[in-house]
Amino acid sequence: MATQRNTNLVAIVDDDDLVRSALQGLLKSVGLPAQTFASSEEFLKSGQQHHAGCLIADIRMPGISGLELQAKLNADRCRIPTIFITAHGDEKMRMQALRAGAVEFLAKPFDDEALLESVRAALES
């Protein structure tokens, strides 16, 4: 299905409210609009997976986890460039995410410059 993506909008899915606000604040400081979601379910329900230019998602979340969300989006043929951030990134999980098409996999606390670089690259892809 051909959909119109807002190439600038970044969707943030994380169950931690502080991390959500921090990410949104960081993106705002470089002029990027962001919409936040407290769970994968909320994000899927919003329909933004078809419009946002890039997705930043936590891995470990109650309900649908980050990796499950990625699998779901892939199954729906929804090609949104995805960046994972997690506090517990082991190599196995990282490989699984990258193999499933994630553009980046960053460990918390992450380097803000590295994250912004990945977001910019994702938005341009």
Partner 1 sequence: MKGDEDTLLRSAALENAKSILAARQRAEQRSEAYLAEAQRLSHTGSFGWRVSTGEIILSEETFRIFQYDRMTKPTVELVLQRVHPEDLALVQQTIERAARDGKNFEHEYRLVMPDGSVKYVHVVARASRDESGSIEFVGAVMDITERKRAEMLLGGEKRLLEMIARGDSRVAVLDALCRLVETLASGSLCSILLLDQNTNCLRHGAAPSLPVAYADAIDGIAIGPSVGSCGTAAYRAERVTVCDIAADPLWADYRDLALAHGLQACWSVPILSSAGSVLGTFATYYREPRSPTHYEHHVIERITHLASIAIEGERAEEALRQAQGEIARVSRVTTMGELTASVAHEVNQPIAAAITDANTCLRWLAGDTPNLEEARAAAMRVVTDSRRAAEIISRIRLLFKKGVPERELVDVNEVIREMIILLRNEAAQFSISMSADLAADCPQVMADRVQLQQVLMNLMINGLDAMKDLSGTRELVLKSQKADDAQVQVSIRDTGVGLPPQQAHQVFNAFFTTKPHGTGMGLRISRSIVESHGGRLWAGDNSPRGACFCFTLPTQADAQAQE
Q: Residues in the site for partner 1, rule: CB under 8 A? A: 15-16, 18-19, 21-23, 25-26, 28-30, 60-65, 68, 87-88, 108-110, 112
Nearer to partner 1, 77 or 113 (CB): 113
CB of 79 to partner 1, least distance (A): 24
Nearer to partner 1, 2 or 18 (CB): 18
Nearer to partner 1, 19 or 80 (CB): 19
CB atoms within 10 A of CB 110: 17
Amino acid at 65: S
The answer to whether the CB of 54 falls within 8 A of the CB of 120 is: no
CB of 48 to partner 1, least distance (A): 21
Instruction: Supply 60's token pair.
Output: 């470990």
CB atoms within 10 A of CB 80: 22
**Long-range contacts: 110-113, Cβ < 8 Å, 24+?**
110/85, 112/26
Nearer to partner 1, 21 or 125 (CB): 21
Return the bridge partners of 46, or none: none
